[in-house]
Amino acid sequence: MHLDQATRIGQDALIFLAGRAELLDACLVQSGLAPDELRGRASEPAFLGFLLEFLLQSDAWVEDFAAEAGLRPEDVARARAVLDGGLPHWT
């Protein structure tokens, strides 16, 4: 998985969270960010990786997100690893 694909998945996660107020609030509490800071951070790999890590805390969350985004749950974990620099780009 390339960084651009992982970035799109992370941005889709932000959209997913934005549509779920309670989940977004919990994410913001963990991140320490204010809601108005989200847009400015939406292209930062580390922040997008945090969002995916947040979703990966719950099987239900990651499964819901993956289904809505047309992904497999393992794609979410792979994108998280790429955004963190944890997987090499083989292609």
Give the model confidence (pLDDT) of 32-58 as tens digits. Answer: 888 888 778 888 888 899 899 999 999
Is the pLDDT score of 86 beyond 60?
no
CA angle, 69 then 78 then 6, to 5°: 60
Stretch 16-29: mean pLDDT, rounded?
A: 90
Q: How confident is the model at residue 65 (pLDDT cuts 50, 70, 90)?
A: very high
Domain residue limits, the chain: 3-83
HSE-up of residue 34 (Cα within 13 Å, Cβ side) = 2
Is the pLDDT score of 21 beyond 80?
yes
Both tokens assigned to 20: 């779920």
DSSP string, 8-39: HHHHHHHHHHHT-HHHHHHHHHHHT--GGGHH
- Mean pLDDT over the full length of the chain: 87
CA angle, 35 then 41 then 62, to 5°: 80
24-33, 54-63, 81-90 — which is least confidently predicted?
81-90
pLDDT at 91: 42
